[in-house]
Structure 1
Amino acid sequence: MRSALISTIFLACLSVPVSANEDKPTFGQAGVLSNKNRGDIPKLKLSAGEPLLDVDKITLKSGTYYELEIEADGSQELALVGNDFFRAIWIDEIVIEGIEIRPLGIDSLEFDEAGKAEISFLAIKPGRYTLGVPGSQLQRVEIVIE
């Protein structure tokens, strides 16, 4: 009786259909940092008296990996502040002239002269955030994480 029950359970397990998506994992080997989990974000341009972007708002998806490129033309010493935004993301790295920095967190970036920085991050906490030059209403962008 017992062996018949075990045989029945074994055969029932064999008849369970196997998912066809097993050969197509959702994220790949690197998980949330894989290439399939990447989003696009426009480049920010820091220039004296000029807007950061042509649009006022960027929408990001929580759980998606982004690379934000920031370029300063050196026309003025400018900082880019976004305390709340930087706390709503997980920063993988910041690359400045080939130097990779892996910080625990940041409040702002300041460009004293012309240059480029790239922030690679994972959007985490949904909400509305502002990234911009302190004291300027023109040089700011609203970032929405959904």
Structure 2
Amino acid sequence: MRYFLSALVIAALSATTAFADTDDDNEAGPPAGLMAAGNRDKLPEVMLSVGEPLGGPWHLKSGRYYTVEITSDGSGEIGLSGADFFHAVWIDEVVVEGLEVRPTGLNSVEFDEPGTMKITFVAVKPGSYALSIPGSSGEDQRLDITID
């Protein structure tokens, strides 16, 4: 019985040491997952101004976390529509003047006054998409997006 208990204690200590070594290895490396800092990219700011180009194109990777700031100069009531794009991403949050909104999805955004909104999202569904100014037909009024 004494040998059995000794063997049990030795086995328990060995297992504890093995787990401790594994935990140290994980702490030394970067965290994994969608929200990890190493999986984040900041996209160029989108400037909304009457008659000005939107910029782009964007080339995104599925599974990466992105941040974009959209700013309107107030030169007119202007918005961006792109339901297909917004449905191909997981929206983490939309921040406007320090107020955070966590929607289940978007179809479009609109500015009635000058200001900036920050949208954070994870690209999910590969394909070709666009954000465009509603009612416009010019190529500059469209932001082409590809998710690989």
Give the TM-score normalised by structure 1: 0.79
What residue in structure 1 maps to residue 127 of structure 2?
127
> What do the CA deviations read for 1:60-117 (whole angstroms, capped 9, x no partner)?
1110000010000000000110100000000000000000000011100000010000
Q: Within the alignment, does 1:145 sit opposite 2:123 as a pair?
A: no
What residue in structure 1 maps to residue 45 of structure 2?
43
Mapped partners of 1:84, 1:25: distance in 2: 37
Shift in Å, 1:25: 5.0
Mapped partners of 2:93, 2:42: distance in 1: 17
Distance 1:135 1:87, change over 3 A: same
Mapped partners of 1:143, 1:113: distance in 2: 26
Runs of 4+ in structure 1 off by over 2 angstroms are 22-26
Count how many residue pairs are aligned between Structure 1 and Structure 2: 123
Aligned-residue identity in percent? 49
Instruction: Could you tell me which runs of 5 or more consecutive residues in structure 1 were left unpaired when the two chains were aligned.
Output: 1-18
Instruction: Write the mapping of 1:1-146 to structure 2, written as runs, cut at 5 A.
Output: 22-23=25-26, 28=31, 31-53=33-55, 55=56, 57-136=57-136, 137=138, 138-146=140-148
Shift in Å, 1:134: 1.2
Mapped partners of 1:96, 1:65: distance in 2: 19
Q: Match for 2:35: what amino acid? A: L
Shift in Å, 1:40: 2.9
Give the TM-score normalised by structure 2: 0.77
Instruction: Could you tell me which runs of 5 or more consecutive residues in structure 2 were left unpaired when the two chains were aligned.
Output: 1-21
Mapped partners of 1:140, 1:118: distance in 2: 19
Shift in Å, 1:50: 0.4
> What do the CA deviations read for 1:31-74 (whole angstroms, capped 9, x no partner)?
21111101231110000010012x4x110111000001000000
What residue in structure 2 maps to residue 13 of structure 1?
none
Superposed CA RMSD in Å reads: 1.8
